[in-house]
Amino acid sequence: MRRETVETRDGDVWTFDWLDDERSGASPLVVLFHGLEGNSDSHYARALFAALVARSWRGVVPHFRGCAGGPNRLPRAYHSGDHAEIAAMLDAIRSRVADPTPIYACGVSLGASALLNWLGRGGADAASIVTRAAAVSAPLDLVAAGRAIDSGSNRIYARHFLQTLKPKALAMARRFPGLLDTDRVARARSMWDFDDVVTSRLHGFDGTGDYWTRASSKPWLASIAVPTLVLNARNDPFVPAESLPRPHEVAPDVVLEQPEGGGHAGFAHGPPPGRLDWLPRRLLAFFDGDRAA
């Protein structure tokens, strides 16, 4: 793995982790946008990169700001509708690879939501950057997903995310006095609370309700003009099955796959604890042109 520090146009910094292979030449490049508090060491990233190595393809994980092991410079983080960040990252990646290298973009969970937001807004223009795309376990309707993660036994997952999100927010508040209400950050016990006091405040939304509504990717599925796989398990604890789109709600270039099992960003199969190789195989098959599971 090769780590690159990339200066952003607004004076901040990204961290790109590259999978390079001396045998790869001009082979395709897979860009993986990670999920909430994920990184290049997340289980799905490691599984995908192992599959890329096996076929001598290249890969890169562009980390969202603050997710590569250290703080970023500006009072900004990342969010589920961050289409501008996806666009800027992909522009930077495209400038680093030779034409006509095929670029395949894949997002997981929050990264999938942001990617779909970019694809929908970009329409046919997105095809000048990426050849195909895939969204895995995207919370397509953030209102439904947010309510799900803050309900019942799922609250254990919300508490897990808050264990890293809150310290990062408090550290940012110390560097930028007056930016955030630190008492409210410290008291946050749900994703609604955190998004209300931090995510919406940092990224120009009028509270959680406005953020979850405006950043949802589901309304953009009808505008996508790049072949795109949208893969959601119907037993995903964070993404209620009733919130998933139906074929008439998406563009012809969008392939919906909604298997009964798979959970959230796992799709493990075989005896417990299960193997994680099904998802990388499905993604690479789609990038090869196979629309069917």
Q: What is the pLDDT of residue 13?
A: 97
- Counting every residue written for the chain, the total comes to 293
Q: What CATH code is carried by the domain that includes residue 114?
A: 3.40.50.1820
Q: Say how far apart CA 108 and CA 232 lie, in whole Å.
A: 10
Same structural domain for residues 77 and 183? no
Q: Say how far apart CA 121 and CA 22 lie, in whole Å.
A: 36
Same structural domain for residues 22 and 57? yes
Q: What is the pLDDT of residue 99?
A: 80
Q: Which two tokens stand for residue 208?
A: 């959680």
Q: What is the pLDDT of residue 22?
A: 57
For 105-133, give the secondary structure using H, E and C. Answer: EEEECHHHHHHHHHHHHHHHHHHHCCCEE
Domain with 167 in it: 149-215
Same structural domain for residues 124 and 161? no
- Looking at the DSSP bridge assignments, the partners of residue 29 are 58, 103
Q: Say how far apart CA 188 and CA 182 lie, in whole Å.
A: 10
Close Cβ partners of 222 (under 8 Å, ≥ 6 residues apart):
120, 249, 250, 251
Low-confidence stretches of the chain (pLDDT beneath 50): none
- The one-letter code for the residue type at 28 is P
Q: Which two tokens stand for residue 44?
A: 């799905």
Enzyme catalytic residues: 109, 236, 264
Reference 116, options 87, 78, 91; nearest CA is: 87
Same structural domain for residues 17 and 59? yes
Contact 129, 213 (CB under 8 A): no
Q: What is the pLDDT of residue 274?
A: 84
Q: Which two tokens stand for residue 230?
A: 């949208």
- Beta carbons within 10 angstroms of residue 161's beta carbon: 15
Same structural domain for residues 206 and 114? no
Query: Tens digits of per-residue pLDDT, 188-244?
Result: 999 999 999 999 999 999 999 999 999 999 999 999 999 999 999 999 999 999 999
| The 2-7 sheet, strands edge to edge | 2-7, 13-19, 58-63, 29-33, 103-108, 132-136, 228-231, 254-257
Q: Is residue 199 part of a domain?
A: yes
Q: Is residue 201 part of a domain?
A: yes
Same structural domain for residues 59 and 6? yes
- Domain total in the chain: 2
**pTM given for the model:** 0.96
Same structural domain for residues 118 and 18? yes
Q: Is residue 70 part of a domain?
A: yes
Question: Domain boundary at 215, 235, 260, which?
Answer: 215
Same structural domain for residues 201 and 167? yes
Q: Say how far apart CA 171 and CA 186 lie, in whole Å.
A: 12
Same structural domain for residues 135 and 223? yes
Same structural domain for residues 60 and 122? yes
- The one-letter code for the residue type at 207 is G
Question: Domain boundary at 187, 215, 243, which?
Answer: 215
Same structural domain for residues 157 and 207? yes
Same structural domain for residues 156 and 243? no
Could you give the dihedral angle defined by the CA atoms of residues 35, 37, 43 and 45, in that order, rounded to the nearest 10 degrees? 60
Q: Is residue 293 part of a domain?
A: no
Q: Is residue 292 part of a domain?
A: no
Q: Say how far apart CA 217 and CA 194 lie, in whole Å.
A: 20
Q: Is residue 97 part of a domain?
A: yes
Q: Say how far apart CA 106 and CA 111 lie, in whole Å.
A: 8
Q: What is the pLDDT of residue 270?
A: 82
Question: Domain boundary at 157, 191, 215, which?
Answer: 215
